[in-house]
Amino acid sequence: MVVLQAETDETLNQMFRALADGTRRDILARSLTETPSVSALASRYKMSFAAVQKHVAVLELAGIIQKRARGREQLVATNHARLQRAGELLDAYEAIWRQRLAQLDDVLLAKGT
C-alpha cells in the first residue's frame, strides 16, 4: 500500500525516528512558539550541550527544523511545511483505517441480519 508517494522510505524513516524521541519533540514544541538558540535550548535540559546539539542535528537532518546563524548563535526554527507533511501522511493512514473499519462494520451488520 502506497500513501503519498512523494517521500522516499528513508526520508519518512528519518522524520518519524526524529519525532520518536521525547526530547526532540520538546525541542520541536519550543521551536514552534519561539526561535531559540541551541545554547538556550541546552540550558533547559539536564544533559550536556553536545547532547542537545545532537538532538537538534537529528531534527535538522530530518528536515523538521532549520538552523540559521545569528552572530555566534545558532537559532532553531521549525520547518512548518515538513511538519505539515508528517501530519498529512498520518491523516492519510487514518483515512485508510477509517475506511477499513467502515468495511468491517458493513460485514458485521450483513452477518447480523
Encode pLDDT of 71-86 as tens digits. Answer: 999 999 999 998 888 8
Closest listed residue to residue 24, CA positions, set 61, 58, 47: 58
Per-residue pLDDT at 1 exceeds 50: no
Q: Is residue 2 part of a domain?
A: no
Q: Is residue 55 part of a domain?
A: yes
Per-residue pLDDT at 40 exceeds 90: yes
Mean of all residue pLDDT scores within the chain = 90
The confidence score (pLDDT) of residue 12 equals 85
- Burial (CB < 10 A; 0-12, 13-18, 19+), residue 12, is middle
Q: Which CATH number fits the domain that encloses residue 18?
A: 1.10.10.10
pTM, two decimals, is: 0.78
Q: Is residue 29 part of a domain?
A: yes
Q: How many domains does the chain have?
A: 1
- Burial (CB < 10 A; 0-12, 13-18, 19+), residue 15, is buried
Domain interval for residue 33: 9-112
Q: Is residue 4 part of a domain?
A: no
Calpha distance 67→89 (Å, rounded):
24
